[in-house]
Amino acid sequence: MKKIDVYSQYEKQNTVETHAPMVKRIAYHLKSRMPANIQLDDLIQSGMIGLLEAANNYDASQGASFETYASIRVRGAMLDDVRKNDWAPRSVHRNNRRVAEVVRKIENEKGRDARDTEIAEALEMDMDEYNRILQDASGHKILSFEDIGNGEDSLIDSIPTPMSEPLDSLQKEDIKSQVATAIASLPERERLVMALYYDEELNLREIGAVIGVSESRISQIHSQAIIRLQARLDQTL
């Protein structure tokens, strides 16, 4: 029995060493989509922890290949570490909530998408000040598709981890369905930015080149899309 345990440990170590380049690849990809103060070495470190956990918990009988399973755990570990070290000032979260409340109010009253100018006017701001709020929101919020849901800072904090109960899995799928419906209802440009960012995994600079506007403008559009989703989903989730 002891020999089997030693061999198993050797296999795990060999698996981690073999897949270490995958951790760096995922870290470089995420780094290109994050604010400048996120350090590549920190992403790699948290990713390696995720890889070790994947090696310890992998069950081949579940059907997924180790690389597929590990890549999900590694990416999740990196994003979890970034979220734990949230550097956003309270003012950013407060402004995000203010904008979401105004968006919700305007859209409930008018029965259509709230326009930039209407939001800024309701907030008693000029467009430059409103765009600065959006820019701040973009610089301080790290989101993956799974984040889009409810909660103060992330949209789906309530989604359970793998190996949850069947009822939890059904609830998770229901939330994802509502999120997908909400994204589909976004204004065309916001919907396009979300698709390029989350589905095609382009960074903001690349999306700007596709659409033909500056990276900072794409950042603002992305932030407004997230805030609009928060406003709409807060009423349904």
Amino acid letter, residue 11: E
Provide the β-strand partners of residue 156. 150
The pLDDT of residue 87 is: 58
- State which of 21, 55, 84 marks the end of a domain: 84
The CATH number of the domain where 21 resides is what? 1.10.1740.10
Same-domain status, 175 and 116? yes
Same-domain status, 158 and 194? yes
The pLDDT of residue 233 is: 81
Same-domain status, 136 and 197? yes
- State which of 53, 84, 115 marks the end of a domain: 84
The pLDDT of residue 14 is: 84
Which residues in 34-52 are b (16+ Cβ under 10 Å) and which e?
A: beeebeeeebbbbbbbbbb
The CATH number of the domain where 137 resides is what? 1.20.140
The pLDDT of residue 150 is: 38
What is the enclosing helix (H) or strand (E) of 171? Answer: helix 166-184
CB 46 within 8 A of CB 74: no
Same-domain status, 204 and 116? yes
Per-residue pLDDT of the chain (237 residues; tens, 9 = 90+): 444 344 466 677 888 888 999 999 999 888 877 766 678 898 999 999 999 988 888 887 777 788 888 888 898 888 888 777 665 667 777 888 899 999 999 999 999 999 999 999 999 999 999 998 888 777 555 544 444 443 333 444 433 344 444 455 555 566 677 778 888 899 999 999 988 887 787 888 889 999 999 988 998 999 899 889 888 887 665
Same-domain status, 203 and 96? yes
Same-domain status, 219 and 137? yes
Same-domain status, 228 and 135? yes
| Domain boundaries, position 50 | 2-84
The pLDDT of residue 164 is: 43
The pLDDT of residue 121 is: 95
Same-domain status, 29 and 105? no
185's tokens? 């209802």
Same-domain status, 24 and 78? yes
Same-domain status, 71 and 109? no
133's tokens? 């709020």
Same-domain status, 19 and 118? no
- State which of 84, 110, 126 marks the end of a domain: 84
Q: How many domains does the structure of the chain reveal?
A: 2
Same-domain status, 48 and 108? no
CB 181 within 8 A of CB 155: no
